[in-house]
Amino acid sequence: MLISLAAHAEKVGYRGDVLYFTADPASHPEAVHNYQDGLLIIDMGKVVAAGDYETLKTKYDVKEIVDYRGRIITPGFIDTHVHYPQISMTGSYGEQLIGCLNDYTFPTEEKFSDKQYDSHVSDTFLKQLIDNGTTTALVFATSNPVSVDALFQSALQKNMRVISGKVLMDRNAPAPLLDTPETAYSQSKALILKWQHKGRLDYAVTPRFAPTSTDAELAIAGKLLKEFPDVYLHTHLAENNQEVAWVKKLFPWSRSYLDVYDHYGLVTAKSIFAHAIHLDDQDYAVAEAKQANFSFCPTSNLFLGSGLFNLDKARKYHINVGLGTDIGAGTTFSLLQVMDEAYKVTQLRKAYSENPQEVTPLSPMENLYLATLGGAKALSLDKYIGSFENGKEADFVVLNPASTELLKMRTANSKNTADVIFPIEIMGDDRTVEHTYIMGNKAK
């Protein structure tokens, strides 16, 4: 046992182009840390140091150096909104949000009542995340507690950071998926007591969205947040114009969609709202004041024709933003491909602006920040993950800028690191993620 522990405690260095952020590079250019011949040193699953290879190689007693020269070593990707039960419906044709829910989502989620089936899908889902470089995810399960147990058990075995919870909905969905305010509370509380802070797991109180919850159900969600103040709130917000109109009809007393959630105490510093497209300035101001967080899901928003997220407005109001794949309305597990679509959304917004020069393109470094430290900040996890500062958990990926012939040709013509990163974001996929490490252990 002593020999085993001693061996495990020996420091390992990873040599390559080390790149990470300590703040948002959009407002803090000095927060970009890039060592083109760099060294990342890991011990017992934690970061010891990251910096210049020549400087660090003799400073620490490193037993082994893994040579990844020609590769980029960056923190693991963070998916701030994804539905694990929806793998099998990814790429379903022709619907917008409400039609997608009725025709594809609800029938798919009704299958999740069997532990063996749910566990199989959970394992497949987590493998897809890892293969695409995602090491942390905020995940929708279903309204059946079995689906939550299966996901958490799979994540625990892989030592992944996963946040999830039972979906709350007591109306406007098929009967097999509905709960009641009483069962929403009792089942959620039991799951919180069972899983919160177990390993690297956390719990999220998860109303699907306002239209599938009565006032009583939303009040229960608020009660759970007060009773367990360290859990998250995860839901959808203002994704689609028809959805916004539906919310106004269901909650005629409300000023806006966000106001419904705020009325029940669901807008907090640990609230993550997916999409957040159709908001007004007062909504942004409320989100800023309550320190709420948004998940930008461009592949889903484009696929369903929902709209274009306003990253400039979120920046203006100092709202933390992460990226989300939103499988299965989203079309890929790859956050590299999500970065591609995120850039295109910021470009496309110029077509709808009277002053397109005032719409800021999403820079390569800002895009990578959103997928790493930005996501960590949105999930209140930046003290644990998202960068390579001393003591942080060693979740990281190794990206190969020559993983395809086209990328190889484009990389050969790059002038600097940002010019290498940009085509990776635009043309990269799971092939570009050469390795994925979770707490210092190679998972891919």
What are 128-157's pLDDT values in tens digits?
Answer: 999 999 999 999 999 999 999 999 999 999
User: Which residues in the chain show pLDDT less than 50?
Assistant: 1-8
171: how many CB neighbours lie within 10 A of its CB? 11
CA distance 380 to 232: 9
Q: How many CA atoms lie within 13 A of 356 on its CB side?
A: 8
Cβ pair 181, 214 in contact under 8 A:
yes
**Burial class, 58, CB count within 10 angstroms (exposed 0-12 / middle 13-18 / buried 19+):** exposed
pLDDT of residue 9: 62
pLDDT of residue 7: 43
Kindly list the distances between the CA atom of residue 338 and the CA atoms of 135, 214, 301, 302, 320, in Å, as whole numbers in the listed order. Answer: 15, 33, 11, 11, 17
List the structure tokens of 312: 């400039």
CA distance 11 to 9: 6
CA distance 215 to 405: 55
Nearest to 429 by CA among 341, 296, 333: 333
Question: Which amino acid appears at position 54 of this protein?
Answer: E
Residues 6+ apart with CB under 8 A from 376: 75, 78, 136, 322, 382, 384, 385, 386, 387
pTM of the predicted structure, to 2 decimals? 0.96
Nearest to 372 by CA among 354, 356, 357, 385: 385
Question: Which amino acid appears at position 286 of this protein?
Answer: V
Buried b (16+ CB within 10 A) or exposed e, 405-427: eebeebbeeeeebbebbbbbbbb
Architecture field, domain 77-378 = Alpha-Beta Barrel (3.20)
Q: Is 443 helix (H, G, I), strand (E, B) or coil?
A: coil
Q: How many CA atoms lie within 13 A of 31 on its CB side?
A: 16
Write out pLDDT tens, residues 333-387. 999 999 999 999 999 999 999 999 888 889 999 999 999 999 999 999 999 999 9
Architecture field, domain 2-76+387-442 = Roll (2.30)
pLDDT of residue 173: 96
pLDDT of residue 10: 87
Q: How many CA atoms lie within 13 A of 271 on its CB side?
A: 28
Segments of the chain assigned to CATH 2.30.40.10: 2-76+387-442
CA distance 316 to 417: 27
Segments of the chain assigned to CATH 3.20.20.140: 77-378
98: how many CB neighbours lie within 10 A of its CB? 15
State the alpha helices, DSSP H only, in 229-280.
Answer: 241-250, 257-263
